Amino acid sequence: MFESAEVGHAIDKKTYAKTVPELRESLLEAQWSLHEHGGFPVIVLIAGVEGAGKGETVNTLNAWMDPRHIRTVAFSQPTLEEAQRPRMWRYWQALPKKGQIGILFGSWYTEPIVNRVQRLSKKANLEMEIARINHFEQMLSDEGALILKFWFHITKKEQRKRLRAIDADPKRSWRVTKTDWRQFELWDRYYAISEYTLRNTSTGYAPWIVVEGTDERYRNLTVGTQLRDAILKRLALHKRKAVPAITPPLIEPIDRVTVLKRMDLSQAIPDKQYDKELEHWQDELLRLTRQKGFQDNAVVAAFEGMDAAGKGGAIRRVTGALDARQYQVVPVAAPTDEERAHPYLWRFWRHLPRRGKLTIYDRSWYGRVLVERIEGYCAEADWMRAYAEINEFEQELVESGAVLCKFWLQLSPEEQLRRFKEREGTGFKRFKITQEDWRNRDKWALYQQAAADMIERTSTSIAPWTLVEAEDKNWARIKVLRTLAEAIRKVV
């Protein structure tokens, strides 16, 4: 993979001087079209051997283009803010939005490669990381991002020469750290593991481009040209896909039995017993979230369910047990324009709690496979791939030490109707029933089928759904509280 970057590529001064003005002009034009069009984000990963001119080339790119629409982010050791959230959190924060070019130094590749080189992880771990990276990049690509991954390569001999030269120059010596030299000693291992990783992550949607770093002019021209051509090619292809309003055919199982229909909605708790149990479980929740051990964990709770199933009431019973400084409730409504300019899951990533905190999502990332699927807000291909993306997201969450609970609140259509009518009768504005609620009700069967599909595809051993019988509010609230408390108890 690196052989072709060891052949001694070079561009002479004259050719460079002749080529650069044209390239700059067309790069600027490509960038401007991209920005004006606002159609897709461009993610440029800069990786490779230390001393191969990564920084210089990125500075040249910034000089050639309009730096106002480029966002360059360098990653080193995670800050405390970052370390207290799932590993991918900081990369999500750094993703460029539509129309923008994001240049990432030290991306999601650094840790897996370096850990393996330093024998902090096993081969199987690297394999797993590679599989995940491929899924992640596939998701970015499916969400419309253009991904360019540049690997800067120089030979071992050349690297030694460069590190020494920089070290000797007082103006630049700050750039070579002890880590660089330590890494150099592991050159052969680093070479092999990088090559293996690149080979296995060079996909159709996000291929690696290996750049020989020895000659500055060659390096700059290669990266500049690749970037320009990729943007232009994509712009030519890119047309705003009109999303057809698909109403997916109802493919119920032949016997019409879904997991939701098997739920025993007759379960109930009488008021007196409820009061006692409520107090018990709220006390327990408070106690657990104040344990010292809780400071190492975060809690993410997602609530989904039919309209009027009592999500709000259940959430209030949870927050009622907690200290207001510890939790955040995120009501999920229509995305803001900043959210729309990023991949779908971005708006959930941004609210993830740090350790010792709880985030409660009132409706969640499952909107894609529920309302968006049914109302045709996204294409069938988009919600179909969402199941796998969501499973990856939740795995990342759980592995970062978060306690994840997902609740589906189910009630019967008769009880929903009763509650709608009751709400229409009360004076409370907050409980008013809108036309939309009635429309959704007409699509009861579609929502039930979408929910059943969702549970089938996303109830995993690491992130199972809790199906909550919500016909009786007491029962539902206690079940939610108990489930949460028991999940937290396992970890503190």
Chain residues in the site for a copy of itself (CB under 8 A): 25, 28-29, 31-33, 36, 55, 58-59, 61-63, 66-74, 79-81, 103, 105, 171, 174, 287, 290, 312, 315-316, 319-320, 322-325, 327-331, 336-338, 362, 427-430
Q: Minimal distance in Å, beta carbon 342 to a copy of itself?
A: 12
| Residue 83 or 250 with smaller CB distance to a copy of itself | 83
Q: Which is nearer to a copy of itself, 13 or 171 (CB)?
A: 171
How far apart are the C-alpha atoms of 416 and 434, rounded to whole Å? Answer: 14
Of the two residues 177 and 266, which places its CB atom closer to a copy of itself in the complex? 177
Which residue, 263 or 315, is less far from a copy of itself as judged by CB? 315
Cβ of residue 330: shortest distance to a copy of itself, in angstroms? 8
Q: Is 322 helix (H, G, I), strand (E, B) or coil?
A: coil
One-letter amino acid at 391 equals: N
Nearer to a copy of itself, 67 or 207 (CB): 67
SS3 473: helix
Give min distance, CB of 443 to a copy of itself, in A.
24
Closer residue to a copy of itself (CB): 147 or 315:
315
Q: Shortest approach of a copy of itself to residue 175 CB, angstroms? A: 9
Residue 210: beta bridge partners? 151
Q: What are the structure tokens assigned to 51, written together?
A: 């001393």
Instruction: State which amino acid sits at residue 339.
Output: E
Beta bridge partners of 327: 358
Q: How far apart are CA 123 and CA 233, in angstroms?
A: 37
Roughly how many angstroms between the first and final C-alpha of the chain, as a whole number?
47
CA-CA distance, 239 to 370, in Å (whole number)? Answer: 26
What are the angstrom distances between the C-alpha of 294 and each of 81, 284, 357, 406?
A: 17, 13, 9, 19
Taking the complex as a whole, the smallest distance from the CB of residue 97 to a copy of itself amounts, in Å, to: 10
Residue 72 or 121: the one with the smaller Cβ distance to a copy of itself is: 72
Report the 10 Å Cβ neighbour count for 309.
24
Q: Which is nearer to a copy of itself, 63 or 192 (CB)?
A: 63
Secondary structure element (H or E) that encloses residue 421, with its range: helix 413-425
Cα(106)–Cα(201) distance, rounded to whole angstroms?
A: 16
Residue 336 CB, shortest distance to a copy of itself, in Å, is 5
CA 158/CA 389 separation, integer angstroms: 41
The distance of closest approach from Cβ of residue 205 to a copy of itself in the complex, given in angstroms and rounded to an integer, is 26
Q: How far is the CB of 204 from a copy of itself (least distance, A)?
A: 29
CA torsion through residues 447, 452, 457, 458, sign: positive
